[in-house]
């Protein structure tokens, strides 16, 4: 794969990718994915009491996305927490509610600017983590198999390299010069963002928020579902 998992992958290839991303197998999947996405958009636009229903769906998305990172809570805990003061919330509940706030913040920024920039990614991650740690500046980040302890991947190190890779990603996200379908570009964007792994924490959740925002930006979704 061109990298040693135990060494920082500072030569992560820039975008656009040189590989063929429109193979027959990919295009077959694209057709069905596009159909389901169009149905979702249609349902969202027909919902009665849209704000109430969409808010509850987004809360479920926040819960499920956070659960991937072992931030575990329940719908009951979330709804009770929303009706009480923040002092009584568990840390897991706070993090899930932060996810929802970050998603809405990104949604409003994208709707206002019709762009998805590095600064927006930073703002989303800051809302998620409730700190200003920003882009990784210190070495030592490694992705490790939880069960075996084996190092699976070491993302790029040093802020300059990370920022250069993010600038390239930003250009790729917002460029409208190619004819690659947005759903194919979405998968490439997600791969690249997670490979850059720009933050100390919150990369997975920020990446999944970016996915939704990109679909909104490309008008494949009207709401951040």
Catalogue all structural domains in the chain, each as residue range(s) with its CATH number: 26-217 (1.10.3290.10)
Q: Could you report the per-residue pLDDT of 157-173, keeping only the tens digit for each? A: 999 999 999 999 999 99
Q: How confident is the model at residue 83 (pLDDT cuts 50, 70, 90)?
A: low
The answer to whether residue 146 scores a pLDDT higher than 90 is: no
Kindly state the tokens that stand for 94.
Answer: 């706070």
Please tell me the distance from the alpha carbon of residue 153 to that of residue 8, in angstroms, as a whole number: 8
Q: How confident is the model at residue 2 (pLDDT cuts 50, 70, 90)?
A: low
What local confidence, expressed as pLDDT, does residue 152 receive? Answer: 95
How much is the average pLDDT of 138-161? 93
Residue with the two structure tokens 């003061």: 85
How much is the average pLDDT of 12-38? 95
Q: Could you report the per-residue pLDDT of 173-224, keeping only the tens digit for each? A: 999 877 899 999 999 999 999 999 999 999 999 999 999 999 999 999 998 8
Residue with the two structure tokens 């790729």: 172
How much is the pTM? 0.89
How much is the average pLDDT of 47-52? 77
What local confidence, expressed as pLDDT, does residue 178 receive? Answer: 77
The answer to whether residue 61 scores a pLDDT higher than 90 is: no
The answer to whether residue 1 scores a pLDDT higher than 60 is: no
* Cis amide linkage into residue 16, ω under 30° from 0: yes
Q: Could you report the per-residue pLDDT of 90-143, keeping only the tens digit for each? A: 888 888 888 889 999 999 999 999 999 999 999 999 999 999 999 999 999 999
């Amino acid at each position: 794969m061109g990298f040693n998992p135990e060494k920082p992958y500072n030569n992560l290839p820039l975008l656009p990718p040189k590989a063929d991303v429109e193979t027959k197998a990919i295009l077959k999947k694209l057709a069905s994915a596009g159909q389901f996405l169009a149905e979702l958009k249609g349902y969202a636009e027909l919902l009665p009491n849209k704000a109430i229903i969409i808010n509850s769906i987004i809360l479920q998305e926040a819960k499920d996305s956070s659960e991937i990172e072992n931030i575990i809570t329940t719908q009951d805990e979330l709804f009770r927490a929303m009706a009480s003061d923040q002092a009584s919330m568990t840390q897991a509940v706070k993090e899930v509610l932060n996810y929802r706030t970050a998603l809405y913040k990104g949604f409003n920024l994208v709707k206002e600017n019709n762009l998805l920039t590095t600064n927006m990614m930073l703002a989303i991650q800051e809302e998620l983590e409730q700190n200003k740690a920003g882009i990784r500046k210190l070495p030592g980040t490694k992705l490790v198999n939880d069960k075996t302890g084996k190092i699976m991947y070491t993302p790029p190190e040093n802020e300059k390299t990370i920022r250069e890779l993010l600038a390239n990603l930003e250009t790729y996200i917002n460029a409208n010069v190619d004819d690659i379908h947005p759903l194919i570009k979405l998968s490439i964007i997600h791969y690249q963002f997670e490979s850059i792994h720009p933050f100390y924490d919150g990369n997975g959740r920020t990446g999944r928020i970016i996915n939704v925002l990109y679909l909104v930006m490309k008008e494949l979704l009207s709401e951040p579902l």
